[in-house]
Structure 1
Amino acid sequence: MTGTTTSTTAGTTTVTSSEDAPDTSTWGGRHVHDPTAVRDDDGTYWLFSTDARSDGPVRGGVQVRRSADLVTWELHGWALPGVPGPAGAWSGAQGLWAPEVVRVATPAGPLWRMYYSASTFGSRRSAIGLADAPHPAGPWTDRGIVVASAHLDPPAGLGHPNAIDANVVTEPDGTQWLVYGSFFSGIHALPLDAGTGFVAEGFVPGPGALHEAPGRLLARRAREADGAVEGAFALPRPGGGWALLVSYDSLARSYHLRAAVGDAVTGPFRDRTGRLLTDVEADPWTVGVPVLSGHRHVGGPGILAPGHASVLSEQVATPDGGSHARQLLVHHVRDAEAPTEHRLQLRRLVWTHDGWPLVSPQPWAGADREVDDTTRWPSGPDALGGTWEQLDPGADPTHVQDAVVGELGPLDDVRPLGDGRFTWVAHDGAAVSAVVHPGWDAVRDRATLCLEALDDAGRVTLATRLP
């Protein structure tokens, strides 16, 4: 494609050439913000992201990309011809943010639902809308507003939920929740009607209803930190319960990703030391387990403000007719040398033996360079030896952290648990849970081992083994 414009007929978005439209032929994963990825029944991956460009005006309607391998991406076009009327009239938005796309089964066959956000920067006059399509490629048809918010501040607290950043969570029994919110009063969950995709009966969408029923509070930060929590994503833990990923702090500089776990989708969610994600009395930079922040590998570029993550979960077929589970964190980053530039990254998401989510220090390199079969992951303590390039994502998320090179040890009472899982006792007596797996060193362009470790004080280490 050279330039692009769109025309719409019966909900169909058609991409055509135009001298006035941006040249998207070289975009690939550039200009991606707040991404989510899905796979269709033919095996093609589809990526949906915020209407944002770092080098020009916004073109509204949700950017759509496709890929065969999760590494090389091609801009497919836009899902919608612009901001739908109801959402635009309420919010004044010029573009759509943070789409969430989910597949649902209907008597007529599969249906894809897209929850989009309409707002303006710093405003709480926002709306989450719903569109649907028979396929991720479209055509997408707008169905209206699911929930809205306004500029309302109660006498106490941090205000009403900001109706953006949707995440749809489905429990094993089919119960669905809309997890949403950004800054202000934090992250909430509203029950959805799985049949319609809208808020369940008894929870009326719109700002008036938010006085009585904003949903169940999941996470909140203090005014001292500007209430800076958003982009939530909930996912089931192995063995039961739920994990919640959230993005903290400034979108352009100190943005970073934290995690907590709970027994239910509706919480409460606690970090490794037991602090609630709703605790606004604690130091707001100590709550939550920091799993990814700005960093620089030795000899590599500075990665700034990683965040607003979703998780792609899938079963990957094997040549013998079996399959392996794979989960990838899908998120955006900025370039430290060019902070206005934003682009896509994916990383492997792993679970410690006791059910904590951690993410690889290295970006996903593609199925031909990665190993999904956990039975082939390291099983002996010799995998922990050697020299490692180490990152501490919680050390100072406000700055790009340079990797530190050295050994992991001394490590006491190392216990291999199989499938790359280990425990040990650190030199200061902290109990550590870790995962070691094959990965790809993006700086040195070589196969290596990656390690993710979490101790009982909530400290995380991300490491890449060096030659």
Structure 2
Amino acid sequence: MNHRLAFRVVVVATAFQTLTTCAEADTENVLQGSVRAHDPSTIVRQNGRYYVYATGVGLRSKWSSDLVHWNEGPAVFDRDQTPAWTGGVAPGFRGHFWAPDIAKQGGEYRLYYSVSRFGKQTSAIGLAVSPTLDPDDPLYGWRDVGIVIQSHDGDAYNAIDPSVLQDDDGRQWMAFGSYWRGIHLVELDPATGLRRHLEQPPRRLASADSIEAATLLRHGDNYFLFVNHGQCCRGVESTYRVLVGRSDCVTGPYLDRDGLAMSEGGGSVVLESVDSRIGPGHIAPVAGDESNRFAFHYYDGNDQGKSKLALASWTWTEDGWPVAADVRLSGPGTRPQRDVRSRD
């Protein structure tokens, strides 16, 4: 294998067929330290530190001062503090939370997280809040608020993989979903962080045979919906790739570059596997970052298919489509404090 090649970045030109690759990064551009991660959240900054949360026992946390050197932080939930409601939602659940997302609202940070079992639809998205992300702050501590949305066998959706966003009018939304009938959207109450309009069914945004890991992003006058197609959690056999659609309204419809609606299986590829950099997934913006940086995970074919953190930036074509650039992958990393199981 050519170890100098990183992810193929699909340049979305007229037919988005021109491919570029990242040359081998110099040492200071390779992510270092505690880089093992799966399903990273939005990266948020507080008091000079960047924080990211990820799938793992108790929900894993990491922090960095420069987005390059990463340190392991404490779990959100200790083993004896797993919310009591989780066992009723997903029988057999053992505290291995998935795919969080985080946003700041007023004086608190809101962390949305997934409770499920692999291949099951009996799932829920929960919410925990804290006034600070700094574990050394006396005010630090996550308080569980409860269930935002729950799914049962036979529902039109699977309640995992949240992505939260505030629109131009100050309304707050959460995209979510995995397999079943695809990616859905609900409105959140800014006062509580919980779901509004419980009587209204979630709106479907995107559909495909294997789809999950939605991310909502606003750029200029448009909203973008990133999703993963393919299979995660299989190490070097993973087939994840990232697709995108665009809309002038957060509720859709989201169309790809060819005008095909994502609700009808559309989506333009923006990241896929190349060589030993396998299965890129779960786009995670750096909140408030004017350089349009984002994180994602991938499976390292040079390191037994371990899932690791990567960082890149969006650049934008003249007609307003995102192109991934400046991709920075991870080095060998340090041993994590907890096992990084993919899903369950």
Category of TM-score, reference length = shorter chain = 0.7 to 0.9
Distance 2:319 2:257 in 1: 11
Alignment partner for residue 243 of structure 1, among 216, 224, 239? 224
Match in the other structure for 2:306: 341
Between Structure 1 and Structure 2, how many residues are aligned? 287
Indicate the residue corresponding to 1:203 in structure 2: 198
Q: Is 1:130 aligned to 2:127, yes or no? A: yes
1:112: which partner in 2? 109
Which digits, 9 at most, give the CA deviation of each residue in 1:103-138, with x for residues without a partner?
Answer: 011xxxx20000010000000000000000001234
8 Å contact kept, 1:87–1:128: no
1:366-445 aligned within 5 A: none
Match runs of 1:3-402 below 5 Å: 28-30=34-36, 32-51=37-56, 60-82=57-79, 83-92=82-91, 93-94=93-94, 95-105=96-106, 110-137=107-134, 138-152=140-154, 160-200=156-196, 202-203=197-198, 213-221=200-208, 227-238=209-220, 240-251=221-232, 252=234, 253-280=238-265, 287-296=266-275, 302-315=276-289, 325-338=290-303, 340-360=305-325, 362-363=327-328
2:142 and 2:261 map into 1 onto residues whose CA distance is 39
**CA distance change for structure 1 residues 27 and 122 in 2, over 3 Å: closer, same or farther?**
farther
C-alpha displacement of 1:306 = 0.6
Identical residues among aligned pairs (%)? 31
For the pair shown, the structure with the greater C-alpha radius of gyration is 1
Instruction: Provide the secondary structure at the position in 2 that maps to 1:99.
Output: strand
Summarize deviations over 1:40-83 as a string: whole Å, max 9, x none.
331200010000xxxxxxxx211011100001101011011243
TM value normalised by structure 2: 0.79
Q: Tell me the CA shift for residue 169 of structure 1.
A: 1.2
Secondary structure of the residue aligned to 2:263 is coil
Post-superposition shift, 1:308? 1.1
Matches of 2:264 and 2:114 in 1, distance apart? 27
Unaligned runs of 5+ in 2: 1-31, 135-139, 332-344
Compared with structure 1, are the counterparts of its residues 305 and 361 closer, same or farther at alpha carbon in structure 2 (3 Å cutoff)?
farther
2:46 and 2:133 in contact (8 A); partners too = no
TM-score, normalised to structure 1's length?
Answer: 0.59
**Alpha-carbon shift at residue 314 of structure 1 (Å):** 2.8
Q: 1:88, 1:118 within 8 Å by CA — same for their partners in 2?
A: no
Q: Which runs of 5+ in 1 are unaligned?
A: 1-25, 52-59, 153-158, 205-212, 222-226, 281-286, 297-301, 316-324, 366-441, 443-467
